[in-house]
């Protein structure tokens, strides 16, 4: 039985809990209030065409401005939220903000996609597909503008159910991306079975691509196979000009990274986009 939002009384002190456990429990109890208290903030990182630096998409990334613990990154609270079964309300909230942003971009005639990260547990929620469909209707946004990113591990626990959800999302016309590719254990042949359109090469291979023969070989192999299967390849973690050049030479023409922009407040994405159009030549 998962602990749900609104049932914080289940998070009571038990003598056998270690200090570490108690700390985790109190963090989760606080997370339940964090949305309402507006402590959760969304950032966004642009994804660009490496050939002309046009913005193709923005990836939404969550942060928690905790009143006492300071700024927490997603890796500091999402795995725990997922483990405790309280991730879905967060995902729903992020999805709504993302679709709202898409509506706003359309109003300004700024054409780009918005990507949202899903947790593995989200794919096991039967409401997910309906929620996404309703949001797109409510804000009158074409499904093709939304990208949902999932990790290889999302298919491990209940592959059939997860795959069914993916097929339903795909039928809505949403684009699906496989995140952190190369860090999991799925076989390359398995890729073909998935209704995805995008593969994202993990940062860890990209950062030092210009200096590491191993990482360069791995990235090259991922690009080749993904292209053969007609997926778009997106490189994450581009920090150096030389890395961009190598990626282009290897046939990858889409990416994101600090070289172009660090993640910034989602609220400022529209003005950022308007300005980028004029300044992209000298980023």
Question: Given the rule CB under 6 A, which of 14-22, 220-228, 230-238, 264-272 is the region that contacts ligand C2E?
Answer: 230-238
Footprint of ligand C2E on residues 237-256 (CB under 6 A)? Answer: 237-239, 256
Residue 263 is a binding residue for ligand C2E (CB under 6 A):
yes
**Binding at 73: pick from Mg ion, ligand C2E, none (beta carbon under 5-8 Å per type):** ligand C2E
Map tokens 């009571």 to a residue: 12
**Binding at 158: pick from ligand C2E, Mg ion, none (beta carbon under 5-8 Å per type):** none
Instruction: For residue 112, give every residue at least 6 positions away whose Cβ sits within 8 Å of its Cβ, in sequence order, or none.
Output: 55, 56, 57, 58, 105, 145, 273
Among 36, 52, 75, 160, binds ligand C2E (CB under 6 A): 75
Among 28, 121, 125, 149, binds Mg ion (CB under 5 A): 149
The dihedral through the CA atoms of 232, 180, 29, 34 has a sign that is negative
Residue-wise burial string across 87-119, b where 16 or more C-beta atoms lie within 10 A, e elsewhere: bbebbbebbebbbbbbeebbeeebebbbbbbbb
Q: What is the dihedral of CA 79, 81, 87, 91, to 10 degrees?
A: -60
- Residue 246, classed as helix, strand or coil, is helix
Question: Given the rule CB under 6 A, which of 111-119, 126-134, 138-146, 270-278 is the region that contacts ligand C2E?
Answer: 111-119
**Binding at 263: pick from Mg ion, ligand C2E, none (beta carbon under 5-8 Å per type):** ligand C2E
Residue 152 is a binding residue for Mg ion (CB under 5 A):
no
Give the Cα separation of 114 and 42 in Å (integer).
13
Among 122, 152, 175, 180, binds Mg ion (CB under 5 A): 180
Residue 179 is a binding residue for Mg ion (CB under 5 A):
yes
Give the Cα separation of 43 and 75 in Å (integer).
14
Question: Given the rule CB under 6 A, which of 25-33, 71-79, 215-223, 227-235 is the region that contacts ligand C2E?
Answer: 71-79
Among 118, 176, 234, 252, binds ligand C2E (CB under 6 A): 118
- Provide DSSP, 27-65: HHHHHHHHTTTT-EEEEEEEEEETTT--EEEEEEEEEEE
Contact footprint for Mg ion (CB under 5 A): 117, 149, 179-180, 236
């Amino acid at each position: 039985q998962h602990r749900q939002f609104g049932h914080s009384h289940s998070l009571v002190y038990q003598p056998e809990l270690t200090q570490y456990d108690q700390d985790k429990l109190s963090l989760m109890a606080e997370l339940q209030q964090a949305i309402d208290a507006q402590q959760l903030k969304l950032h966004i990182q642009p994804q660009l065409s490496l050939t002309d630096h046009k913005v193709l998409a923005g990836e939404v990334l969550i942060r928690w401005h905790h009143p006492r613990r300071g700024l927490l990154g997603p890796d500091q609270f999402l795995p725990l939220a997922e483990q405790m079964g309280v991730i879905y309300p967060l995902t729903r909230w992020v999805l709504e903000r993302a679709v709202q942003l898409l509506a706003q971009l359309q109003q300004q005639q700024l054409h780009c996609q918005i990507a949202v990260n899903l947790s593995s547990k989200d794919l096991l929620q039967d409401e997910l597909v309906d929620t996404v469909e309703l949001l797109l209707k409510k804000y009158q946004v074409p499904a093709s503008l939304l990208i949902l990113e999932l990790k290889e591990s999302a298919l491990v626990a209940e592959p059939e159910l997860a795959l069914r959800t993916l097929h339903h999302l795909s039928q809505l016309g949403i684009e699906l991306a496989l995140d952190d590719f190369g860090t999991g254990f799925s076989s390359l042949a398995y890729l073909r079975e998935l209704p995805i359109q995008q593969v994202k090469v993990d940062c860890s291979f990209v950062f030092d691509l210009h200096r590491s023969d191993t990482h360069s070989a791995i990235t090259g192999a991922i690009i080749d196979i993904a292209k053969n299967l007609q997926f778009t390849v997106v490189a994450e973690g581009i920090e150096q000009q030389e890395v961009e050049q190598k990626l282009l030479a290897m046939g990858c023409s889409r990416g994101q990274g600090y070289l172009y922009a660090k993640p910034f407040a989602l609220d400022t994405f529209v003005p950022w986009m308007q300005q980028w159009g004029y300044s992209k030549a000298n980023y």
